[in-house]
Amino acid sequence: MSERYTAAEMMTVTASRALTNGQSCFVGIGLPSEAANLARLTHAPDVVLIYESGTLETKPEVLPLSIGDGELCETALTTVSVPEMFRYWVQGGKIDVGFLGAAQIDKYANLNTTLIGDYTDPKVRLPGGGGAPEMATATGEIFITLKQSKRTFVDAVDFVTTVGFGRDGTARDGVPNIGQGPTRVITDLCVMQPDPATKELTVTSLHPGVTREDVIEATGWEIAFADDLKTTAEPGDEELGVLRALKERTDKHHSEA
């Protein structure tokens, strides 16, 4: 990776570029929130950020620790109840993009945030789905951002918390009133998109300095590469400056809280 930026910064900037100005985006906490707010502060000032707690058109000065962070309500245009958020805004089809992370993802972009191991005797219990299952079925499309490793990118998730394309890639076939599902997975190594026919995740772009072998070694299945494999554009100086300032404000704010 370049001396100008880290692999994490490359991932965040690439994920932020996936959002376009004017879109409505349902934002997950963590990396998705970082990328979405970077987009708002750079190329997409009119992107509408919505969090699960019911905050609409949120414009946080610092990144929230959770959906219950007061920063979200204080900087939102308005706050609605959680039932209204899901029944009217999400299930009503009013959200363009859902931005998610996970503990595990598999070749068909199914996400696991429930447990690691066997369901009856798990090694680790995770926070659960929150609003992610509803987002995956009712928003226009889903962007996923994750750091890539064999621990996270597995052949089959231990539990399908949030459906991508199901265990065989056909879960969305013939289902009415459902969004496109995952259209892009952005990692610290590459960008993946579902194959149009099989829905299996395929690498469409490698980040600068990353090789095919790097991706293969960090993936728990036999990953495919697009015939017209591209190189991801590097972060610009403005993007890096804004991102670093955002994280610096966030670290200072939460350390003083």
What is the phi/psi pair of residue 138, to 5°? -115, -20
Contact 112, 104 (CB under 8 A): yes
Tell me how far apart the terminal alpha carbons of the chain are, to the nearest angstrom: 34
Both structure tokens of 250: 């966030």
Question: How many angstroms separate the Cα of 244 from the Cα of each of 34, 43, 165, 248?
Answer: 11, 16, 35, 6
Q: Find the length of the chain.
A: 257
Cα separation, 242 vs 197, in Å, equals 39
Sign (positive or negative) of CA dihedral 120, 125, 127, 132? negative
CA-based nearest residue to 230, from 254, 200, 208: 208
Pairing verdict, β 97-100 and 24-27: parallel
Cα separation, 234 vs 4, in Å, equals 10
Choosing from 9, 34, 52, 200, which is the catalytic residue? Answer: 52
Q: For residue 33, which amino acid is it?
A: S
- Rounded to the nearest angstrom, the gap between the alpha carbon of residue 104 and the centroid of all alpha carbons in its chain is 12
Q: Is 9 designated active site?
A: no
CA-based nearest residue to 185, from 127, 244, 242, 102: 102
Catalytic residues: 52
